[in-house]
Structure 1
Amino acid sequence: MSGRELGVLNALDVAKTQWYHFTAIVIAGMGFFTDAYDLFCISLVTKLLGRIYYTDISKPKPGVLPPNVQAAVTGVALCGTLAGQLFFGWLGDKLGRKKVYGLTLMLMVVCSLASGLSFGDTPKGVMATLCFFRFWLGFGIGGDYPLSATIMSEYANKKTRGAFIAAVFAMQGFGILAGGIVALIVSSAYDHKYDLPSYKENPEGSIVHSFDYVWRIILMFGAVPAAVTYYWRMKMPETARYTALVARNAKQAASDMSKVLQVEIEAEEDKLNHIVESENQRYSLFSKEFAKRHGLHLLGTTVTWFLLDIAFYSQNLFQKDIFSAIGWLPPSQEMNAIHEVYRIARAQTLIALCSTVPGYWFTVAFIDYMGRFAIQLMGFFFMTVFMFALAIPYNHWTKRENRIGFVVMYSLTFFFSNFGPNATTFVVPAEIFPARLRSTCHGISAAAGKAGAIVGAFGFLYAAQSTDPKKVDHGYPTGIGVKNSLIVLGVVNFLGMLFTFLVPESKGKSLEELSGENEEGPEAVEMAGSTRTVPV
C-alpha cells in the first residue's frame, strides 16, 4: 500500500470476492437489463406500428412507417440517452452516486409505462406522444451508464474489477434476450387466440387496430425490472471513494465500508486532508493539467465508443431489415401483423442467445486475464473481418442456399462486438479518471457512444434504403443499400481498431494508481499521463 493511500480504499482493493460484490452486480446490472430492453424492444414493433397506423387497405402491401417517422421512433430514445449521460454523469460527481441513482430508475419506470400508454387522435399524434415519452425514457437510461459503471468500479477489488464491471454491462445481453422472449410470448398468445389470417387473406382492415395492445404491452414490460430493483438501490451505501475523496468524509467512508466488508477500518482523517489538499485534487476537467494527464485517454475512450456504437446499434436496431433483405424473413404480405412480430422476435432472440449473450460473458471470463486492450483490439479486428466478408461477396449470401451462412457470419459480428469493444468501452472509462471526475468522464465517453448510435440509427436507415427502383419494396432495404452499409461499418470498425491504441491498459492496478491520485507533482503526471497502452 502506498504511504498516501487510505486504508479504506486499500481494503476495497485487496478484498476477497464476497457476497456484496455479487449483490452490487445484480443491483447495478438490473438497470442495464432494463436499459437494453427499453432501447432495443422498439425494433421489434416498428413494423407492427407501420401496419397499424399506416396501412392503406386499397393497396396490395401492408403499410410501413415512413422513413422520417421510423428514424424518429427508433432514434429519439438514443438522443435522450446522450443527454442523460452528460447530465447525470456530471450530477453523479456533484451530488454523489447514490443520490442520483434512484432518480434515473424512477424515470425509467414512469416513462416505460407512459410509452405504452401513448395516445393521439391521428397516427402522427400517437407517434409524437411515443417519441416524447421515449426521449425521457432514454434520458433516464443515460444516467444509468456512468452511475452503474462508477459504482461498480469503486466497489470492486483491483484483481477482478474488470470482470465485475463487465458483468454489470453483460446484463444488457439478457435485456436484449428478454425483449425478444416477451415479444414472442405476447405475439404468440395473441396470434393463437384470434387465429389470424395472413395479410393476403385479409388486408387487416377491421381487426388491425386491435393489434394495438401488442406493442403497448411489449414496451410497458420494461417498467417491471426497474421497479423491482428500486428498493435495493436505495439500500446501497455511497461508495467509499466518493465519500472520502470527493465528499471528504473519511469517518463516514470507513463506517460504510466496515459494514460492507465486515472488518474494522480506521478513518485516517489526517491522511485524507493531506491528499485532498494536494495539487492532484485541484485541477478541473477543462484545465491544462487534465489535458496533460488524461487528454489522450479521454479522446481514446470517446472516439472508440463513438465508432463502436455506429456499428453496434446499426446491427441491433435494423436486424429485421437485413434479414428481410436477404430473404430470411418472408415478405410482410405473406404474414399477418402479429406473426410478423413473432418472426422478427424469433430471429433477434436466436441471435441474442447464440452470439450476443455469450459474447458478453466471454468478456467477463477473460478480461482480467487478457486485459482490456487485447480484448478491444481483437473485437474490432474480427468485426472488421466479418463485415467485409459479408459485404464484398454480398450477392453470394443473398442466394437461398447461402442464407444460413450469412446469419452465422452476421452473428459472429455480434459475438466479437460483445467479446470486444462493446464491453471494454464501458469498463475502461470507469477506471482511469480521478474520483471527482470519474462519473463525468464516463458520461462524456458514453455520450460519444450514443452520438455514434444516433449516426448508426439514422444513417443506416437512409443508407440501407438507397434503393434500386426495380426492387423497391415499401421502404424495405434492398441489396444495394445493405451492401454499402456493411462496407461502411467495416471501415468504421477498422478505425476503431486504430484508436484503441490511445486507450490505456488498466488491468491489475488500483483506481488511484491509474489516475495518479496517490502521488504528487511530476510523479503523478507521469503515472496518470503515460500509462502504457500495450502491457509488457
Structure 2
Amino acid sequence: MLRTQLEVLNALDVAKTQWYHFKAIAIAGMGFFTDAYDLFCISMVARLLGRLYYTLPGAEKPGTLPINVAAAVNGAALCGTLLGQLFFGWLGDRMGRKKVYGITLIIMIFSSFASGLTFGKTAKGVMTSLCFFRFWLGFGVGGEYPLSATIMCEYANKKTRGTFIAAVFAMQGMGILAGGIVALLVSATFENKFKPPPFNVDPIASIPREADYIWRIVFMFGAFPAALTYYWRMQMPETARYTALVAKNPRQAAQDMSKVLNVTLDAEEDRVTRYVLSERHQFGLFSREFARRYGIHLLGTTSTWFLLDIAFYSQNLFQKDLYFSVGWIPPSGEMSAIREVYMIARFSTLIALCGTVPGYWFTVAFIDVIGRWWIQMMGFFFMTIFMFAIALPYEHWKTKDHRIGFLILYGLTFFFANFGPNATTFVVPAEIFPARLRSTCHGISAASGKAGAIIGAFGFLYASQEKDPANRGHNYPVGIGKKKSLIVLGVINFLGMLCTFLIPEPMGKSLEELAGEVDIDDAEYDRKVFA
C-alpha cells in the first residue's frame, strides 16, 4: 500500500473551495433534482389517473386506481431504481465513473418523456405501458445514486466533503418541491381554461378529456432539467482517485487535476507501480477479508438506509391519502378531477416548502460541524417521536380543530428525515469504502434502501386500508388501518436509531485513511479506522 497519499490526492483533500466544486455540485445535483421529481410526481396525479381510467359510467363516486394498479405504478419505478443502483454501482467501479455517468442521464431523459406519451386503448393498456416506462426511468435514476455520490466524494476536499455531497443530495428536495409546483401550475392553468364543475354536479363534465394532458405534461417536464446538464456532465474529467488507484494511470490523474486545480502535480508513477505490486489487500467484495474489515460498516449502511426508506417513501408516496383522511382536502365527489390535482399539489408543495427542503439544507449547513453520526441519530430520534405523536392520537388529529397541529407534526417528520438519515445514509457509504469498491458498495447500500422503499410502497398501501376502504367496490383485503400503520413506521424509525451504532464517523478524515489505502500495519489500521 501507499505509505502516504499520492500528491494528487492530497492536493484534492486540502484544496480550497473553488469554482469547480460548485460546478460539480450543480452537474451532479441536477441529476438528483430530476430523480426526485420523476419518482415523487406520481403522487400528484395518481388520483387523476383513477378518475380518468377507472370511473364507471353512471358511477356516484369518482373512480380510483385499484390497489394492485396503484402498487404497480409506484413499485415499477422503485424496482427499476433498485436494479439500476446495483448495476451502475458495479459498472462505475469497472468502467469508471464518467463513462457510465452519461448513460444514466440518457435513460432518464428518454423514459421521462416516454412516460408522458404512454399509450393504450384500455385502462389496462395505459397502466401497463406507464409501468414499463417508469421501470426504465427508475433504472436510470438508480445509477445516479452511486455515481453522483462517488464522483462528488472523490472531487471534494477533506474539510467540506460532507457539505458538498449533502448539497448534491439536497437537490432531491428541490425536485420534490418542483413536482408540486409544476402540478400546481399545470392544474391551475387547465382549471381556469375549462372550469369543470364538481363531480356531484355533473360527473361527466367534471372529468374533461383535456385533463388527460395534465399528468402527461407533469411527467414529461422531468426530461428537461436532465437534458440541460448532459453536455456539462460529459465535459467533466474522470475522478483522480479512480484514475490513479483503480485504473492505475497516475499520469492522467495528475494531468486532469492539474487543470482543475490550476497547479502542477507530480504523476508519481513509480509509487503507484510499487502500490500495484505490493498491495496486500486486493480482496474481493465477497471475500472473508472484506467481511472482516468492512462487513460491519456495510451492514450499518444497508440496514439504516433500508429502515429509513420504508418510512420515507411511505410518507411521500401516500401523503395524499392522509390529506383526505384528516379532512384537509374535501371528498373527491365534491371536486372536479382538475381541482383535486390542484388541491393535492398545493398541500404537497406546502409540506415540501416548510419541512422537506429546509431539512436538506440544514444538513448541508451542519454535516461538517456536528458530524454524520449525530445528525443521523438525531433524525431517527425525532422521526420516532413525531411519528408516534401523529399515530397514537390519530383520531384527535382528524377533527377539524386540530388539523393544523397534524400539519405541523407531519412537516416536522419530513424535516428531521432530511436533517437526518435521508441525507446521511447517502453520504456515508461514499466515504468509508475503498476506491475500487466505492461505487459498488454505495450501490448495494442504496439498493437496500430501495428494497425498503418497495416494502413501504406496497406494504403501507395495503396495510393502511381501513375497514371501509375507498376502493370503489373492489374486493380487496382490509389492512390494519392508517393509525396502526403509522405506529409501525414509528417503530421502524426507532430500529434505525439502533442500527446507526454500526456506522463510523467519517468527518475530518481522508478517503484513503477511512478505507485503509495508506500503508500502515494491520493492527494500527484497525485501531485508527475501525476503533
- 2:52 and 2:284 mapped to 1: Cα distance? 52
Q: How far apart are the structure 1 equivalents of 2:170 and 2:352? A: 12
Q: In the TM superposition, what whole-angstrom CA distance separates every residue of 1:212-232 from its partner, at most 9, and x where no partner exists?
A: 100000000000000001000
Residues 517 and 524 of structure 1 are in contact (CA less than 8 Å); yes or no, is this contact kept in structure 2? no
Greater shift in the superposed pair: 294-303 or 322-331: 322-331
Instruction: Give the superposition deviation at 1:56.
Output: 1.3
Deviation at 1:481, TM superposition (A): 1.1
Which one-letter code corresponds to 1:253 in the other structure?
A: A
Distance 2:311 2:386 in 1: 12
Alignment of 1:4-403 (within 5 A): 4-204=4-204, 208-403=208-403
Judging changes above 3 Å, is the alpha-carbon distance between structure 1 residues 75 and 524 closer, same or farther for their aligned structure 2 residues?
farther
CA distance in 2, matches of 1:508, 1:411: 32
Provide closer, same or farther for how the CA distance between residues 392 and 478 of structure 1 changes in structure 2, counting only shifts above 3 A: farther
Pair 1:88–1:524, CA change in 2 (3 A) = farther
Shift of 1:201: 1.4
Query: Contact 1:505/1:531 (CA < 8 Å) preserved in 2?
Result: no
Secondary structure of the equivalent of 2:433? coil
Residue 468 of structure 1 is matched in structure 2 by: 467
1:447 maps onto 2:447 in alignment: yes
Amino acid in the other structure paired with 2:80: G
CA separation of 1:428 and 1:207: change in aligned 2, threshold 3 A: closer
**1:373-522 alignment runs, 5 A limit:** 373-465=373-465, 467-469=466-468, 472=470, 474=472, 481-522=481-522
Unaligned runs of 5+ in 2: none
In 2, distance between residues paired with 1:403 and 1:335?
A: 20
Which amino acid is 1:15 matched to? A
Query: Which sits farther off after the overlay, 56-65 or 223-232?
Result: 56-65
Q: Please report how far the alpha carbon of residue 482 of structure 1 lies from its aligned counterpart in structure 2 after TM superposition.
A: 1.0
Deviates more, 1:115-124 or 1:269-278: 269-278
Are residues 182 and 524 of structure 1, via their aligned partners in 2, closer, same or farther at CA, if it must alter by over 3 Å?
Answer: farther
With over 3 angstroms needed to count, the CA separation of the structure-2 counterparts of 1:100 and 1:472, relative to structure 1, is: closer
Mean Cα displacement is larger for which, 255-264 or 278-287?
278-287
Q: For the aligned residues, what is the CA RMSD?
A: 1.7
How many Å apart are 1:202 and its aligned residue?
Answer: 1.2
| Whole-angstrom CA distance in 2 between matches of 1:107 and 1:228 | 14
Aligned letter for 1:228? Answer: L
> In structure 2, what is the equivalent of residue 526 of structure 1?
526
Asked if 1 retains the 8 angstrom alpha-carbon contact of 2:66 and 2:471, the reply is: no
Which one-letter code corresponds to 1:111 in the other structure? Answer: S
- Kindly indicate whether the alpha-carbon contact (under 8 Å) linking 2:111 and 2:133 is maintained by their aligned counterparts in 1: yes
How far has the Cα of 1:279 moved from its partner? 3.4
Question: How far has the Cα of 1:168 moved from its partner?
Answer: 0.1
Compute the displacement of 1:207 (Å): 5.1
Q: Secondary structure at the match of 1:266?
A: coil
Cα distance per residue 1:71-119 (max 9 Å; x no partner): 0011110000000000000000000000000000000000001000000
Deviation track 1:376-429 (CA, whole Å, cap 9, x = no partner) reads 000000000001111111111111100110010000000000000000000000
Tell which deviates more after alignment, 3-12 or 174-183.
3-12
Query: Could you give the per-residue CA deviations for residues 473-511 of structure 1, whole angstroms, max 9, x where no partner exists?
Result: 648999961101110000000000000000010000000
Letter in 1 for 2:217: I
Contact 1:379 1:416 in 2 (8 A): yes
Mapped to 2, the partners of 1:223 and 1:53 lie a distance apart of: 25
Paired-residue identity, %: 70
In the alignment, residue 387 of structure 1 is paired with which amino acid? M
Q: Which amino acid aligns with 1:381?
A: F
Amino acid at match of 2:285: L
The residue matched to 1:370 in structure 2 has which SS? coil
TM-score by length of 1: 0.96
What is the deviation of 1:190? 0.3
Distance in 1 between the 2:144 and 2:138 partners? 10
Classify 1:81/1:403 alpha carbon distance in 2 versus 1 (closer, same or farther; 3 Å).
same
Residue 196 of structure 1: how far off its partner (Å): 1.2
1:464 touches 1:477 (CA, 8 Å); kept in 2? no
2:381 counterpart SS class: helix
Q: Which amino acid aligns with 2:184?
A: L
The question of whether the paired residues in 2 share the 8 Å contact of 1:513 and 1:527 is answered with: no
Partner AA of 1:413 in structure 2: T
CA contact (8 A) 1:280 1:517 kept: no
Q: 1:207 to 1:67 in 2, by over 3 A?
A: closer
CA distance in 2, matches of 1:280, 1:45: 55
Provide closer, same or farther for how the CA distance between residues 37 and 472 of structure 1 changes in structure 2, counting only shifts above 3 A. closer
Counterpart residue type for residue 320 of structure 1: K
Contact in 2 for aligned 1:279/1:520 (Cα 8 Å)? no
**Structure 1 outlier segments of 4+, above 6 Å:** 475-480
CA distance in 2, matches of 1:238, 1:371: 28
Measured at CA, do residues 22 and 280 of structure 1 come closer, stay the same or move farther in structure 2, by a change above 3 Å? farther
Paired positions, count:
528
Letter aligned with residue 265 of structure 1: L
8 Å CA contact 1:280, 1:520 repeated in 2: no
Q: CA deviation at 1:523?
A: 4.1
Q: 1:26 to 1:206 in 2, by over 3 A?
A: closer
CA distance in 1 between partners of 2:233 and 2:331 (Å): 45
**5+ residue gaps in structure 1?**
none
Give the partner amino acid of 1:32.
F
Q: Residue 229 of structure 2: SS of its match in structure 1?
A: helix
C-alpha offsets along residues 250-269 of structure 1, whole Å, 9 cap, x if unaligned?
A: 00000000000000000001
